[in-house]
Amino acid sequence: MATLLDVKNLSIWFRSAGQERLVVADSSFSIDEGEVLGLVGESGSGKSVTALAVLRLLDPAARIQGLIRFGGIDLLTLQDSELRKRRGREIAMIFQEPMTALNPVMTIGEQVAEAIRAHQPGLSRRQVRRVAIEALESVAIPDAANRYVDYPHQFSGGQRQRILIAMAIANRPRLLIADEPTTALDVTVQAQILELLAELRSQFGLAMLFISHDLAVVSQVADRVMVMRNGMALESGSTAQVFHDPLHPYTASLIGAIPTLTTDRDLPLATLTQQAEADGGRMVERFPGHWVRQSQIPAS
């Protein structure tokens, strides 16, 4: 597969009160066409600023060094007008908070339509409406044609995230940057959104930079994982490799922090084992004293 995004030796500093602070240090990664890279790390590790740097949406107080190539084009030196054409059209982004990202006084249909018009100005009103309804249908908004005129507050949190995904994929981007897209959602809805992203990926060959503090979530969608801490890329590899054979103790601690069962800390291992067997699985000791269900470990 051809490389779609190639980031080399990316460093980012923020200036404040006359001082510069390094927040991303010499980080390199790449994403192939159609591939999903998971970026994992605790809060403040530099995941979001890395994503914003790719879109050149960082605060003017930031200084960036390194190389960011998308489809062979250097994004850091690209003219603003050229960059705007690609942003939203070829690279789209979804964020954590579906309510704040939608305009509360605009119908959802108009919002999806606006995203389409911005990049496909040649389409007629009727064509835009059709593409918008198709996008809403592809993210499983029920009765999309009739709900076109509804406002964001008339949808659930999970549906609002689906609407944002519809806006993001309406122009058929090659890369979707998803920054904690399921963090604000409850666990069941989170699973549905992850499933939807996986479906869209296979349907449209969408590549993704999937950001989360939660390695368990990332392991469900990513082909490869990069672990960040304090602005540094600690390790990267296939999801199975990082999960089964972490090189860095920090990665091992992230795996160790994955909750296994709701009350696992209070239950004796025998009970956990019985529960796992009842689910058709078994318990496996990942690290000394840390047991997880086998079904939670990605296949290698």
Residue ranges that bind ligand ATP, judged by CB under 6 A: 14, 16, 23, 41, 43-49, 59, 61, 213
Rounded least distance, CB 298 to ligand ATP, Å: 22
Rounded least distance, CB 28 to ligand ATP, Å: 17
φ, ψ of residue 108 to 5 degrees: the values are -70, -35
HSE on the CB side for 235, CA within 13 Å? 15
Residue 9: burial class (beta carbons within 10 Å; 0-12, 13-18, 19+): exposed
Rounded least distance, CB 214 to ligand ATP, Å: 10
Output 61 or 257, the one with its CB closest to ligand ATP. Answer: 61
Output 174 or 213, the one with its CB closest to ligand ATP. Answer: 213
- Give CA 134 to chain center in angstroms: 22
φ, ψ of residue 101 to 5 degrees: the values are -80, -15
- Tell me whether strands 232-238 and 19-32 are parallel, antiparallel or unpaired: unpaired
Query: Of the candidates 111, 109, 93, which has an alpha carbon nearest to the alpha carbon of residue 52?
Result: 93
Rounded least distance, CB 269 to ligand ATP, Å: 33
Output 16 or 79, the one with its CB closest to ligand ATP. Answer: 16
Rounded least distance, CB 48 to ligand ATP, Å: 3
- State how far the alpha carbon of 106 is from the alpha carbons of 83, 152, 289, in Å: 27, 8, 53
Output 147 or 213, the one with its CB closest to ligand ATP. Answer: 213
Cα–Cα distance between 111 and 113 in angstroms, integer?
5
> Which residue bears the tokens 């609002």?
160
Output 25 or 267, the one with its CB closest to ligand ATP. Answer: 25
Output 65 or 295, the one with its CB closest to ligand ATP. Answer: 65
Which token pair is 41? 């790390």
Rounded least distance, CB 46 to ligand ATP, Å: 4
